[in-house]
Chain A
């Protein structure tokens, strides 16, 4: 009793001594580190009052002292009502250098969420986010605040950033939960089916995250546990009703062959392995026959090491056997349309962190993918979905200094920049090699750089370390103009929209300026370390393609031709004689199977000269090509500068009273030469043999202004929708234009020559 009493007294004495020392420290302006920390421990309210007491008392403490004091105060003042929260908030605001993001996160977590939007707290959160832009805790708070305040667009953006900062299952699932509570955004939807021999429910939020990052609204269906075979084969399955656009099939070899857990000899595995591959391929074949969806099948990986241990590390091993199975699986899928093999062992090897799986969850819940593996699988899915939904960008716009080479040519000179076979320098070469490979899939490279033109072009033309040369670039802007202006000029020169461009620049300010000027330009964050440039760009979904056509391979040459043709136009006296000088030839024919992939690209990607912008899928186009009630026409064009390839398409429905042009679209690189008039003239001539009139449909969009006057310009008259034909199928905005067919209703442009397609009469 006595000792307790005396110890209380001793504590009180110590406390008042602390207060005294602090008061002295305040007067003299010298921080008292130990005393402040001790007081925060024993009497946080007094410490807070002292820190706030006089202007500058908190500032008199060095950051390394104030930082732990603030952290301690947050922990000691849990749920202390609104006043301390307000006062602590002000203290953080006044001492930004001393408030660590973790402390601010803990502080904000302890005050009610409805206080987050109050001015001092909101400003504190915003500033902390600017200082720590990838801090998961702060991002999560900011996203939750935006969601609570009804700022859905901000919430989605912040949630995507949060998912990139922290791919733990807890965070990704929380993001998914928040998003489901937001109003559904008006983004294009995509239907994704997940089929598996194991539990993949936990994968759904990961796939949702990556597809929303692409600006899509995913609808994801998970087939019941291990029902992949029935779902893919049965006529009336949920999968059939769902009608996916893309399906991921993840079958584990351990589920197919339980014998892998035992010391089964390789000789026995050989035969059952074939059978396992056969089962997957059989389901894949049936799937490909029934659905027009893309099918992505994960390759095999076994959770078990060989029970024989090192005994089996001579000669043929289980690993060899598994490789062979994956090879057979890949060969079988390659024989099917729209089927792809996703290399799961490769994905496992490349995951940045974490275990590949948690064996307990495999045994307990049939889960086979660790959280960081799910993140990788979802990113891989996005790389298939982006091209499937026509999100592939057509043009990469590149900075030069610190992006294609190390250093600044204006300062370091041709000799001084880092570019060659050793590091620093080889990183940039490898990055250039990857960029060069993009031209092989039809993606154009361009330059947008602030430099003296002569300095920079000299590097491109004559530096021995350059991989990319002048001929690899379809447009070059090297000057001191703002980069947004240059990008707009490049877009205009190539006839592309800014939403078809990717801007790569090492400089964060330039990236931010571009995002502000053109939110629709894709501006990935290049990492600080140039050794990582290549791997960041390698995995961009927006640079992936599912098919490569002849046109893709030759696109760079075609755009070079445009550059030359623009020169010819300037030299030509009149438009007519200029057009004649081009010697344009077109070939129009019913689309055949070989042209469908290219037609798909045209239908998916053409925005400007597109009368109805209907995005048909591969399967639908193949059906139209066969259907006698339709004419699916393709137009190829060439001129004296080169072959443009297949550049225009039309889908005509042969109705009894009049043929109806459902779709009419043309690549913008041939706008302005009368090719569209020639195409329409051919359609009209063919229709006239069977019906007295032609109807053209037009659906205005934000982008198709170049096509707006197409029908009136060719003598079509606006007509009302026919009685009895409702404006169903979402076509409320369809304009109908009618042309009575007479000889030469649509005159053929005299400067264009028509060629009979090979093999047709």
Chain B
């Protein structure tokens, strides 16, 4: 599953409307609770665990992909 698909699943928007600039400012459903839901879903999809610092930084898809790559996740 691609990170785009994870965002699509969590926030209920079509994956083709999501790109690396998609962020918590562009998606209304990406509020603080939505952010936690996203982190839970990313962690279970890619079998990784983010630190609190990473979690607080992952506010757009570009950053999310960067952090995922740093943690060795592939898709």
Contacts and interface: CB of A to CB of B under 8 A. Distances in A.
B62 to A, nearest CB: 20
Given A202-B33, A364-B52, A113 B14 contact: yes
Contacts of B38: 170
B41 interface: yes
Given A79-B16, A360-B49, A168 B55 contact: no
Contacts of A109: 5, 8, 14-15
Given A201-B33, A371-B40, A177 B52 contact: no
Nearest to A360: B52
B40 A170 contact: yes
Contacts of B55: 360, 364
Contacts of A178: 12
Nearest to A171: B9
A169 interface: yes
Contact of B16 (A78, A168, A361): A78
A594 B2 CA distance: 62
Interface string B52-70: 1001100000000000000
Interface in A99-135: 109-110, 112-113
Interface string A170-192: 11011001100000000000000
A367 B32 CA distance: 12
Nearest to B15: A109
Contacts of B33: 173, 201-202
B37 A170 contact: yes
Nearest to A363: B52
A168 B44 contact: yes
Interface residues of B, number: 27
B36 interface: yes
A202 B37 contact: yes
A365 B36 contact: yes
B50 interface: yes
A174 B36 contact: no
Contacts of A113: 14
A704 B50 CA distance: 60
Interface in B1-39: 5-6, 8-10, 12, 14-16, 29, 32-34, 36-39
Contact of B36 (A112, A361, A363): A361
A358 interface: yes
Contacts of A174: 9-10, 12
Contacts of B6: 170
Contacts of A110: 15-16
B36 A202 contact: yes
A173 B52 contact: no
B37 A169 contact: yes
A169 B40 contact: yes
A358 B40 contact: yes
Contacts of B51: 360
A204 to B, nearest CB: 9
Nearest to A358: B40
Contacts of B14: 109, 112-113
Interface in A350-364: 358, 360-361, 363-364
Nearest to B16: A79
B37 A177 contact: no
A170 B9 contact: yes
A361 B12 contact: no
A168 B40 contact: yes
Interface in A644-677: none
Interface-centre pick from B8, B15, B40, B50 (highest chain A CB count, 10 A): B40
Contacts of B56: 364
A170 B51 CA distance: 20
A169 B41 contact: yes
A171 B15 CA distance: 16
Contacts of A171: 9
A696 B36 CA distance: 57
Contact of A177 (B12, B41, B50): B12
By Cβ-Cβ distance, the 6 closest A-B pairs, closest first, are A170-B41, A170-B10, A169-B37, A174-B12, A169-B40, A364-B52
17 contacts: A168-B40, A168-B41, A169-B36, A169-B41, A173-B34, A174-B12, A202-B33, A358-B40, A360-B55, A361-B36, A361-B39, A363-B52, A364-B36, A364-B52, A364-B55, A365-B32, A367-B36
Given A110-B15, A174-B10, A364-B55, 15 more contacts: A78-B16, A109-B5, A109-B8, A113-B14, A168-B40, A168-B41, A170-B37, A173-B10, A173-B34, A201-B33, A202-B33, A360-B39, A361-B39, A364-B56, A367-B36
Interface of A: 78-79, 109-110, 112-113, 168-171, 173-174, 177-178, 201-202, 358, 360-361, 363-365, 367, 371
